[in-house]
Structure 1
Amino acid sequence: MLNPADDRLAASLPEGVLRPVTPAYLDEPRGRYRGQAGLVAAPRSTDEVAAIVCACADARVGIVTRGGGTGLVGGQVMSDGPAPLVLSLERMTALRGIWPEENVLVAEAGMTLQAVRDAANGAGRLFPLSLASQGTAAIGGCLATNAGGVTALRYGTARALCLGIEAVLPDGSVVHDLKRLRKDNTGYDIRDLMIGAEGTLGIITAASLKLVVPPPNVGTAMLEVPGPDAALSLLALAEGHMAGGVTAFELIGGQGLAFLAETLPEIRQPLPNSQWSVLIEVGLPEGMSSDTALEGLLTEAMERGLITDGVIAQSGQQAAGFWHLREHIPEANRRIGAVASHDISLPLSEIAGFIRDAGVALAARSDVRINCFGHLGDGNLHFNLFPAGGRNRAEYDDQRKDLSLMVHEMVVARGGSFSAEHGVGRLKVAELERWGDPARLAAMRAIKSALDPLGIMNPGAVLSPARG
């Protein structure tokens, strides 16, 4: 049942855009937040998005934009305050064009990452952004959160893969900037402002995306290492051997393998008893054998004591199995039930020391188990805490905030970030207030105030509401 204000707003929206308010629009993967909505609208075009934004501005109703709903920091749900309009991009899924000779694809924001990758593949190209959730994650959400994923080491985050955007600003005006240019120095970069803003400055409706020619020789290996310090030395050695050809370099902790064995025993583990292992993928040009390159790396790394065991994938199927294992670590985590999850980044030289010291500090405070894994090549770790065996996460509710504060304090003290690739959302607003540079925060608030003076765009996400 709509209240009178919602009823008036509904009457001003384009015909046919309203959707029933169902749990699918109000959930987030970790179950930390439960959203609300006065209305749900699913526009079919950028013009309809603009009309919806204008109507919400007139009615002073907040807008929460929703793509695939896979975000992990609560940016896609609003639990408190006046119920917003949820604007779903589920119907804006068109491939507007692809230019293989330019290595460019233009997609609407509701197109899934997997659909973008499939379209690129069909044209003999690769869109290299790769996430475990790519079958559901929408490209607009990937840009709004500046998603990272497993290939950021080589190709960069979503920001680096975007040439231009189309976006609706908070006053309903449309930025038409779907340029397919590598160079365009014509003033402030509105594209970069919208990317990573999590829907707080406007709504990305389409994007021009960079494609690449797929490397013709791809090789994959899983390597057992003595510890994180050896893994970092192995990374440096691999980059020296491959001359820019390292596509992914993932660190996997033994606790993650144990959780997989417990919850998903059907997943084959090539190095099941490893305390630390690395999943490496390389992509090399014509004339260079990835198998030969990996064999040379393994030989030298073994001689240096950087690895103790290793398996080079002998087929595409075996390589896919290695990645299947890595991509299911988050699912195993969900089945165990985390006390607290941390998406952190550190300077590479600080990583081994952080893992060591954080483990000692946490052991002195709690009996939590640590599952440390992630994108070691770009300094991004998922440092997650789990109940001790036989306990459940609800028993740690009184510890969760303090334990996360401890982890984040140690990260910041080493020059790192408490949010590497998931964004700030609503989950980390207080952390941004605590550790954000004051001048940078002031500039962010000034930009928010200038573009969204009514404060209707994803209220409460990224920045705390303006005071007074």
Structure 2
Amino acid sequence: MSLNDQELIAGFEKIIGKTQVITAPDDLEPYLVDWRKRYRGQAIAALRPGNTQEVSEIVKLCAANLIAIVPQGGNTGMCGGATPNSTGRQVVISLNRMNQVRAIDTSNQTITVEAGMILQSLQEAATAADRYFPLSLGAEGSCTIGGNLSTNAGGTSVLRYGNARELCLGLEVVMPNGEILNSLRGLRKDNTGYDLRDLFIGAEGSLGLITAAVMKLFPRPVANWTALVAVPHADAAVELLNRFQAGASAQLTGFEMMSDESLALLKHYYPALASPLSGPNAYEVLVEISDYESEEHAMQLMESILEGALESGCASDAAIASNLAQARKFWDMREHVPLAQADDGPNIKHDVSLPISAIPSFIATCNDMLRAKYPGVRVINYGHLGDGNLHYNIAGPSSAQTEEFFTSKSKEIQALVYAEVEKLNGSISAEHGVGQQKVAYLKGHRGEVALGVMQAIKHALDPHNLMNPGKVIAS
């Protein structure tokens, strides 16, 4: 016979202690709602284990009583992937107490960390060891490495270093039956059967609960040079990217694009971060070069490529950061665009990935289509042009209309945008994951065969559908 809620709570308290079992409504509330306030659920409790063995015991107790589990890191997700459903028959497992560095191997260029470690803390631990960890996101002060891996997070350095998947060498995972899969090997070559690591990265906790990871480290660059460049249209931005890739190759570590409407929104809500370039400009591009030779070499490389771009007309203006503070301001501009959106009100978000060559066509087609169908609509288009990832977001004609526009138009606008993504062989999720927001679109996007394979894997590992049910795939 299954335990009732009070008996379950008593069982959880025995495993992790009474203070780490959150049930009081006010204390529980932050675990029940996503940071955008778009998804809300109910839970028996929020549980805060302190080590992997405690996670294992919690999962075993849940499995024995068919209680579903929602893993939660920093709760910074965009698609409701870490939010419980409305049944009240789930528990949230928060790993924010599991935040330690387990090992650093500078010769092997690896760091082993627990899943609840804040991304910024991992970056700082790498710096303290005279190494560099390149994953960088706007939410890096609150998101966790477990959450980054569960969504295969991207960020601003994917162009050079890859997504979270490419930065991970091994995982420790608590399986749906409570068993612990330990693959914390810092190996770059290990061809011994199926790559189980990649099953769990990007699975959003639907196959198991990541508790620790071995991540790659890199030597620290000698120099970083950053520039803000105005371009007349999206095709010019792609040409500028081609010039930097040809001229800088692997030294090109960042290439971010912001549209004029993104910059206008930024200037309105954060006037101190207004662009220093004369404008308005159709797009402004943030470029970063990282160099392992010298400051002078990096500066000369940046100036040489920009000079050619200005002469060709693919760039109309440029400002090279003259010091660290100015470079930080350029990056703050990019990172505050989504914050300005949040200040403005709800917006219809699209985290899409496209072949870089198709991006200008996608933007032109979608812009024309949406502006014709919804007069006055604002297109807040920005993102990681260097890896083909756009945050193509749609807001109502004014901040006063955002809530009504979001509520009434979200589904039809998403359908229009996703249809164009499919025509161009893109993806409806580049780095935010699927969560619960995009489950309904997955069959049409991936196809029946791919979805069937994913469902078979889910059923094999989690036959009772206890791990984050309703996320990624409907099963």
Separation (CA, whole Å) in 2 of partners of 1:137 and 1:51: 25
2:99 equivalent in structure 1 = 93
Partner residue, 1:6: 5
The reply to whether residue 317 of structure 1 matches residue 325 of structure 2 is: yes
Task: Map 1:206-217; keep pairs closer than 5 Å.
Answer: 206-217=212-223
Instruction: For 2:391, give the aligned amino acid.
Output: H
Relative to the length of structure 1, the TM-score reads: 0.97
Map of 1:238 onto structure 2: 244
| Structure 1 residue identity aligned to 2:327 | A
In the other structure, the counterpart of 2:22 is 19
CA–CA separation in structure 2 for the residues paired with 1:326 and 1:194: 30
Deviation at 1:15, TM superposition (A): 3.9
> Which residue matches 1:346?
354
**RMSD of aligned residue pairs (Cα, Å):** 1.4
Q: Distance in 1 between matches of 2:357 and 2:173?
A: 39
Aligned residues: 463
- Please give the residue correspondences for 1:52-63 in structure 2 after superposition, counting only pairs within 5 Å: 52-63=58-69
Gaps of 5+ in 1: none
The one-letter code of the counterpart of 1:215 is: P
**Structure-1 residue corresponding to 2:389:** 380
More helix by share: 2
Does the CA contact (< 8 Å) of 1:344 and 1:380 recur in 2? yes
Q: How does 1:195-234 map to 2 (within 5 A)?
A: 195-234=201-240
Deviation of 1:444 after TM superposition, in Å, equals 0.4
- Of 117, 136, 141, the match for 1:135: 141
**How far, CA to CA, are the matches of 1:338 and 1:309 in structure 2?**
33
**Would the aligned equivalents of 1:220 and 1:319 in 2 still touch at CA under 8 Å?**
yes
Find the aligned partners of 2:319 and 2:212 in 1 and give their Cα distance.
Answer: 41
- Cα distance in 1 for partners of 2:86, 2:6 equals 21
% identical aligned pairs: 42
**Quick one: distance in 2 between partners of 1:93 and 1:418?**
32
Find the aligned partners of 1:415 and 1:370 in 2 and give their Cα distance: 22
- In the TM superposition, residue 393 of structure 1 has moved relative to its aligned partner by 1.7
Match of 1:118 in 2: 124
CA distance in 1, matches of 2:359, 2:304: 26
Alignment of 1:11-410 (within 5 A): 11-13=10-12, 14-16=15-17, 17-20=20-23, 21-271=27-277, 273-287=280-294, 289-367=297-375, 368-389=377-398, 391-396=400-405, 397-410=407-420
SS in 2 for 1:441: helix
Q: 5+ unaligned residues in a row in structure 2: which ranges?
A: none
2:470 match: 460
- Dislocated runs of 4+, deviation >4 Å: none
Aligned counterparts of 2:400 and 2:371: Cα–Cα separation in 1: 16
Shift of the 390–100 alpha-carbon distance from structure 1 to 2, 3 Å rule, reads closer
Measured in 1, the distance between the counterparts of 2:349 and 2:409 equals 13
Provide the C-alpha distance between the structure 2 equivalents of 1:111 and 1:212, rounded to a whole number of angstroms.
19
Secondary structure of 2:218's aligned partner: coil
CA distance in 2, matches of 1:243, 1:410: 31
Describe the SS at the equivalent of 2:10: helix
**1:118 is paired with a residue of what secondary structure?**
helix
Q: Residues 77-105 of structure 1, C-alpha deviation per residue, up to 9 Å, x if partnerless?
A: 02333431100001101110111121100
Task: Provide the secondary structure at the position in 1 that maps to 2:273.
Answer: coil
Of 337-346 and 50-59, deviating more is 337-346
